[in-house]
Structure 1
Amino acid sequence: MKALLYIETSGDKVLGGSVELISAVKAIDAEGTALVIGNKVAAGTVASFGIPVIYTDSVATDNDTLTEVLFEIVKGENPDMLLFANTALSKDVAPRIAARMNFGCVSDVIGMSKNDGKVMYTRPAYGGTIFERIEVEGASVVTVRGGSFSKPEAAANAEITEKNVQIPANAIKAKIVDVVKEISESVNLEEAQVIVAGGRGMGSAENFELVKELARVLGGVVGATRPPIEDGWISRAHQVGQSGKVVAPKLYIACGISGATQHTSGISGSDYIVAINKDEDAPIFEIANLAIVGDVTEILKGMIEEMKKVKAE
């Protein structure tokens, strides 16, 4: 089985979710080849994980051009599956490629297994309340949720093959003439290893400062559910959950969060979840590795104090 992995980059950096595709391919014993477009430094980084890389210096600054470049590469390679990290970009481009190639398309995959030579994809459905398993007849385009697979270990450098892709001018239907960037807080929840998140149970903007303080002490990132954002305690850039960011940190601390499905579906990939809530029947405790029942503000003050002591040693 032949798999082509599209590696998404930002500057010279390879996005973590894209690197995890290497582990996803290994999980089903497929023959994987990575595709890097327009970023030679990133191509070298990916090759250091021991996977062959196809590199093209084509400039794909918009999704129309990227679609054309991918289409040409996929036609030439004819893979059994094309894998993307489940990002905003892939949600736009992946179905376009699937339609052009007449491939099946499965989005937000969190697990892959192989049975009798066929791949079975697992993905959440109905807001994460159930998991469905999907089998595709023929080739497929798949987007994989970040954090579903581990990051690969470094290995002997694999070969990088350069390919020249020419895109006809009439293939591009839209042209970007200007880009206006919104001035907003930069929050990298998807790549964070530690996230401390607060919910309605924090009670006030003043109490929510304890969430921020613990995140700072732990060297982590602040997350939030919808109510604190709507109440103006923190910006929308910090929202975690189905309508925010899907995250998969090593440690997720949920403070005053009840555990609505819309939120828990976005944190299910976390390695270890600590939940603090005064309600011992809170749904968040059903997925928590460690449940702490009590006054969230007092518990956070104690955690902050103890962690500062540890840091000072």
Structure 2
Amino acid sequence: MKALLFMETDGEKVLGGSLELISAAKALDAEGTALIVGSRVAADTVANLGTPVIFIDAAADCDTLTEVLSQMVKKENPDIVLLSNTSMAKDVAPRITARMGLGCVSDVIGMSKDDGKVIYTRPAYGGTVLEHIEVEGTAVVTVRSGSFPKSEEGSKAAVTEKKVEIPAGAIKVKIVDKVKDICEAVNLEEAEIIVAGGRGMGNAENFKLVEELANVLGGVVGATRPPIEDGWICRSHQVGQSGKIVSPKLYIACGISGATQHTSGMSGSNYIVAINKDEEAPIFEIADVSIVGNVNEVIPVMIEEMKKVKEEAK
């Protein structure tokens, strides 16, 4: 089985979710080849992990990537095309699929083989059920970040540079300017620790406790929709169906009831700590540690204890 792994970059380094694709291919005993567009530094990084790399020096906009990937799928003829489930991949994957008449499965969290056939597992209906999908022919698959471990460094593999001609008609959109909100610097998808607050925090002033705890732990702040709609924090911090899908090592849910719209975006976390005054809150059903109490009383105690631990560790 041949796998083509599209490694998305931030312009220089490979995104963490893309590095997981190497392990995803190995889980299927597939012969993986990485495709990197635009960043030679990223190409060398992946080659050092023991995965052969095809490097193409081209722009990394959606139209160009669609054309590059389409041509490479034709040339390489892989059995499976893997992409990390990023915003870019959500645009590119269905376009390649439609253009080439392939199968497509999005937001995959597991892959396995059964009688030589690949079974893709993905959450559906807000994560309340899991779908097991089989695709005839080549499949274009986006993989949820955190579903597989990042590949460890191995023996150096080769980097092969190839040229791809981009027809003028393939570029439909021209980016003339970018306006970036300061909040967009938040990288929830690759955070190892996330402290998230919900409606139960009460108000914007109380929500600052979430930010303080995240700062003490060296983590990132997340939020459910209500705090964002009330203006306590900007939208780029939203976790859930209409926000970011995350899978950190530690997720602390503060004043979050556990509605499906939110838990579908964080249930893949390695370890979940939930704080809520309602002992029957749905969030406790998926939590590893459940703390029943007023978040505005519990969090200050946690902050002080964490500070003590950090001082003792010095």
Give the corresponding residue for 1:16.
16
What's the RMSD between the two structures over aligned residues? 1.1
Match of 1:179 among 177, 180, 186: 177
Residues of 2 paired with 1:90 and 1:8: CA distance?
9
Q: What TM-score do you get using the length of structure 2 for normalisation? A: 0.97
Do 2:2 and 2:80's aligned partners in 1 also have CA atoms closer than 8 Å? yes
Q: d(CA) in 1 for partners of 2:34 and 2:119?
A: 21
CA deviation profile, 1:9-44 (whole Å, cap 9, x unmatched):
002111011000111111111111100011100001
Structure 1 unmatched runs, 5+: none
CA contact (8 A) 2:128 2:260 kept: yes
Cα distance change on mapping 1:42 and 1:22 into 2, 3 Å: same
- Structure 1 length normalisation: TM-score? 0.97
User: What whole-Å deviation, never above 9, does each CA across 1:41-90 have from its counterpart, x for those lacking one?
Assistant: 00011111111111111x22421111111111111000001111011111
Q: How far did residue 312 of structure 1 move?
A: 1.1
Count of aligned pairs between the two proteins: 311
Aligned partner of 1:244 in structure 2 is 243
Partner of 2:89: 90
> What is the alpha-carbon distance in structure 2 between the residues aligned to residue 230 and residue 63 of structure 1?
30
Q: Deviations over 1:184-208 (max 9, x none)?
A: 3221111111000011111121211
Q: Distance in 2 between matches of 1:165 and 1:232?
A: 46
- AA partner of residue 171 (structure 1): A
- Residue aligned with 2:33, SS: strand
Answer yes or no: is 1:41 the counterpart of 2:48.
no
Residue ranges of structure 2 left out of the alignment (5+ in a row): none
Please tell me the residue identity of whatever aligns with 1:203. Answer: G
Shift of 1:131: 0.7
**Cα offset for 1:97?**
1.1
Aligned mates of 2:172, 2:205 — CA distance in 1? 50
* Contact 2:13/2:39 (<8 A) preserved: no
What secondary structure does 1:227 align onto? helix
Alpha-carbon shift at residue 309 of structure 1 (Å) = 0.6
Residue 296 of structure 1 corresponds to which residue in structure 2?
295
The 5 A counterparts of 1:1-313 are: 1-57=1-57, 59-176=58-175, 178-185=176-183, 186-313=185-312
1:84-139, CA deviations, whole angstroms, 9 ceiling, x for partnerless residues? 10111111111111122221011110110011111000001111111100000111
